[in-house]
Every structure is written in structure tokens, then in C-alpha cells.
Amino acid sequence: MQSEVIFKSIGKVYRIEAKQFLPISLKEAWLFFSNPKNLSLITPPQMKMKVLSGVDRNIYSGQIIQYSVSPLPFFKTTWVTEILNVKELHSFADEQRFGPYVFWHHKHFFKEVNGGVDILDLVDYVPPFGLLGRLVHPFIIKPKLAEIFKFRENVLAAHFASELKHSKV
């Protein structure tokens, strides 16, 4: 399962471009990613993510989801996100309203391809703490985000490989 994570800096805003292929249908990918309860499955356990509200139904534009998360040891925060621009079977975005970043805008794109689906994530973000945040970005923030996307990639690959085995039995 091929994947790729690229970090870029565009002025004050950083960008993550993460691509992953999964050997599943577009509908299966959409059903998984549009269920906000699955967010905790693809978040590293050491982040101690706990959903507080807003996951009672699949995503829709304007949905507010709250959860607590510990991105670093001894640092716990509440993250409030709003779901935006839902285009079923194609894309959606989530934007942090309150949380650890000055700015966080995460777009998810799904494209049916031969043998499965390509998933593209574009995350534009501004670290907290101004100049200090920019200085620690290469040493703390970027590696942490890379770790989160790598964990997600591995969980998705294992989850859908397991589902494919069960469906062939």
C-alpha cells in the first residue's frame, strides 16, 4: 500500500500533503472517514484522545465535534472542530475552532482508481506560540505530525487488509 507524506512551508502557513492508496471501494472509504467515531481508531493511543461530543451521526456541514487530546506528554487540550464543505463520496474539510494550533484546516479528498481508492489529505496549519512555535516546528511539531500520519497509514492498511481477508472467506 503506497503512501507519501510531504511537509511544505508557505510563508506563515505550513502544509502537509498525505497520500494513501487503499484497496477498497470508494463507498467503503467514504463510510469509514465520514464516521467521526473512527477518528479515535486512527489516532495514536499515547495522545489519549477522548471524544466529548458531536459524533452521534456521520459528518455533515456545520457539525461541531469536541474531543480532548494530549499531543505531548503533560499537555492536555480540548480540540473543537467544525466539519465543512461535505461533498459525498468526494471530499470534506474540518477546521479547528478551538485547540492547540493558531490555524488548522484539513481537507480530505477521495478518488476511485483502478483497484481501490486514493486518499489525499491537505492540512494547512500555523503552529502555536508565534516565533517559538516556528523555532520548535522542525524538532517537535513536524515529527509529531509525521508520527500521527504514519500511525494512521499503518492502522488503515491493517484495518482494510483485515476486512479484505474476512470478505474473501
The whole-number average pLDDT for the span 127-132 is 91
pLDDT at 166: 44
SS3 call for 39: helix
Residue 1: partners with Cβ closer than 8 Å, 6 or more residues away: 20, 21, 22, 23, 153, 157, 161
Helix (H) or strand (E) holding 142: helix 142-168
Phi, psi of 99 (to 5 degrees): 160, -165
C-alpha–C-alpha distance, residues 16 and 127, integer Å: 13
The answer to whether 6 and 146 have CB atoms below 8 angstroms apart is no
pLDDT at 43: 93
pLDDT at 162: 65
pLDDT at 161: 84
Return the half-sphere exposure (C-beta side, CA atoms, 13 A cut-off) of residue 159.
15
**The pTM is what?**
0.89
- Whether 168 has a pLDDT exceeding 80, the answer reads no
Q: Confidence class of residue 163 from pLDDT cuts 50, 70 and 90?
A: low
